[in-house]
Amino acid sequence: MSLVTDFIVIGSGVAGLRASIALAESGADVTVLTKDKASESNTEYAQGGVAVVLSEDDDAELHEGDTLVAGAGLCDEPAVETLVTEGTKYIKQLIDWGTEFDREGGKLVFTQEAAHSRRRILHAHGDSTGAEFVRSLIARARQERTINLLPFANTESLIVEDGRCVGVRFLDPILRSPREVYGKAVIMCTGGAGQLYQHTTNPPVATGDGMAMAYFAGAEMADMEFIQFHPTALSVEGAPRFLLSEAMRGEGGILRNVQGERFMSRYDQRQELAPRDIVSRSIVAEMRRTGSRHVFLDMTALDAEFLRERFPKIDATCKQFGLDIAKDMLPVSPASHYCMGGIRTDLHGRSTVPGLYAAGEVSCTGVHGANRLASNSLLEGLVFGARAGEAAVADSLKFGVSDFRLSEAPSGQNSQPISTAVKKRVKRVMWERVGILRDRGSLLRAISEFEQIERSNLGTSSRNFVTLALLVARAALWREEARGGHFRSDFPEQREEFRVHSIQKQGSDISSSPQMDF
């Protein structure tokens, strides 16, 4: 039996929760579908903090300027302006809702991170900012009686009728069979796709389903080639690729090679505080130069008590693997971390498919350009989640849910998780051939292998996963330059003709657009 609601939100990270609250405040019924428990998302794992203009020596123009520089010439200025100006309002609102940011003497504590010209990063409980966002937003969402959270509901595809997105097909966690839910609009907030890569800081749920679903529904995808690799993921045999926050370098951490030498000055005058893409490539170059599988993050010059108070979660995790962040040099290497590309949207979260909205990492607003500035992601989810929810309400005032053709859900023969064999193969090829350093030959081999996998009999989830890998690889092949998170060793310089967004749509060749808005 099909369900009917006013609005459907897919995902319960910062963007999904904030969109849900905006929808519910209009009096609408909101059904929130999540793949795992409500708190399991990339937001939950965000350590670094949130960048916001609140300190006395900061202003929106400085924050905008830093974001534009990090974005390597590909940020859309209207999107960045929206982010930095509205961000202050929404963070103040979060504080009013009970979000507990770190304070000293009653005043907010601002920290420094790479590529920021001011100390403007707010943290919660040291290195658990994302978890605090989720806690406070879930608490706020529970005050809205019209929000219905449906956990462990694995969404598989969007329902499009007469060119409009009107629903979602998902696996009912209780009935264990396909089911459909219809609404006036769908807001996609499923997060990123870090699990495409063999080494990633992302949780297991970050498989990019939402991007693939939108692509198959006819939505345009933008800038899929731009993947941000975090420079410092814990590199210990048998340990997960736990992220060692950007803030550790912001507080004075030093990168050393396996010979104990500080090396970043060889690659960039900003050394450890260079943008993430530069630091990641520098680490890879140093690993190759020294024949090692990692470098070290050295925090030993800092006060031990300060480190344990500032990074309690990182301290506890490192101790599980026999490492003391105050005494030991920490082995690190890069891992996939964030997707700058995604579903192409305007500044109100509208995709190119009527009735389909997107916010957060699954979307591409043009705010991050070719390389996300550290700690802008939580702010983006908050700002554009709210804007998408408000736009969905305003756009749907004349649209009813009574005329849906409620179809029978298809049989569940293909309703299964991503094949383990497919996942392993895709992740290995993406890491080796579509990773931090790319070239035409490696990308062509990757595309050939993915197309071979695509021709086999795949379930819906496996098909989504392989399709997403193809979108990234094809966009990376098309962009014959090095810019931000995308580095072509056969085209190592930026090229002015590529100062455009890549646009992909099902059934069409890759095109370009000077701006994300449409």
Structural contact between residues 75 and 67, judged by C-beta atoms closer than 8 angstroms: yes
Kind and range of the H or E run holding 95:
helix 77-96
Distance CA 388, CA 380 (A): 11
Is 276 annotated as catalytic?
A: yes
DSSP 45: G
Q: Find, among 427, 416, 420, the residue nearest to 450 by Cα.
A: 427
In terms of C-beta density within 10 A (0-12 exposed, 13-18 middle, 19 or more buried), how is residue 330 classed? buried
Q: Count the neighbouring beta carbons within 10 Å of the beta carbon of residue 480.
A: 13
In this structure, the number of other CB atoms found within 10 A of the CB of residue 394 comes to 10
In order, the DSSP letters of 168-218 are EEEEETTTTEEEEEE-SEEEE-----GGGSSSBSS-TT-S-HHHHHHHHTT
Tokens of 410: 């298809």
Compute the C-alpha angle 194/216/32, nearest 5°: 65
Q: Output the six-digit token pair for 398.
A: 């004349």
Catalytic residue among 140, 276, 344, 350: 276
177-182 sheet: strands from edge to edge: 3-4, 177-182, 164-172, 154-161
- Point out the residues that are catalytic: 276
